[in-house]
Amino acid sequence: MISSHNLPTAAALAAALLWCGGALADPLPVVHPAGSLGTVFNAHVAQQITVEVPDTIAFDVVDVSADTQATAPATVAVSAMALAPGGSLAISIVADAAQFTGPDGAPSWDAGDVSWVAATGTNFTGAAGTLAAGTPRETGRCAVGANVCTTTDLVFSLKANAAVRAGDHTLSARWKFEVLF
């Protein structure tokens, strides 16, 4: 017999037996709308990449009448690449202006005076090109299905221009990464 002062203990014992499938209770019928008691875990992965591009590409021009290569090859690296199936990544660069800014308004190079040769790399196929203002120009593509893509030998060149003056000439550019199918 259960006395009133043992009621909380008796209720806890009955609940424990129900939870553990004890003999005090019959199993409760559970109806799931989909007819299953399974659970589906769903993780949505948005297309994503992590990129590394050069901060500066420098040209030490020692002879304005000759083409000049950049002081070092550029490295472009893409990692943690999660693209939709069948997608590849096109890597392009676009100049922010039509011309370099020369010292004190002096004549300078056009954006189109910068070019590059097709580079090689890991999961990377390079494309030769010429820089343009407002129009992205492809430097290469990452292989379909790759999760990393790298080039360390993207060599930029600057055309000869005997009209320029001594001093710093600058042109900013942006990199563009586009998924292609």
Q: Which two tokens stand for residue 151?
A: 């080039």
pLDDT > 90? residue 38: no
Please report which confidence band the pLDDT of residue 108 belongs to, taking 50, 70 and 90 as the band edges. Answer: very high
Please report which confidence band the pLDDT of residue 106 belongs to, taking 50, 70 and 90 as the band edges. Answer: confident
Determine how many CB atoms are found less than 10 A away from the CB of residue 169: 20
Lowest mean pLDDT among 16-20, 43-47, 54-58: 16-20
What pLDDT is stored for residue 141 in this prediction?
98
Q: Which residues are registered as beta bridge partners of 48?
A: 82
Burial string for 39-57 (b: 16+ CB within 10 Å, else e) reads: eeeeeeeeeebeeebeeeb
Spans of all domains in the chain = 48-180
Please report which confidence band the pLDDT of residue 4 belongs to, taking 50, 70 and 90 as the band edges. Answer: very low
Please report which confidence band the pLDDT of residue 24 belongs to, taking 50, 70 and 90 as the band edges. Answer: low
pTM for this model (two decimals): 0.78
Please give the helix or strand (H or E) that residue 4 lies within, else none.
none
CATH code: domain 48-180 is 2.60.40
Q: How far is CA 165 from CA 6, 99, 107, in A?
A: 99, 15, 7
Mind listing the pLDDT tens digit for each residue in 83-95?
999 999 999 999 9
Lowest mean pLDDT among 38-47, 71-80, 119-128: 38-47
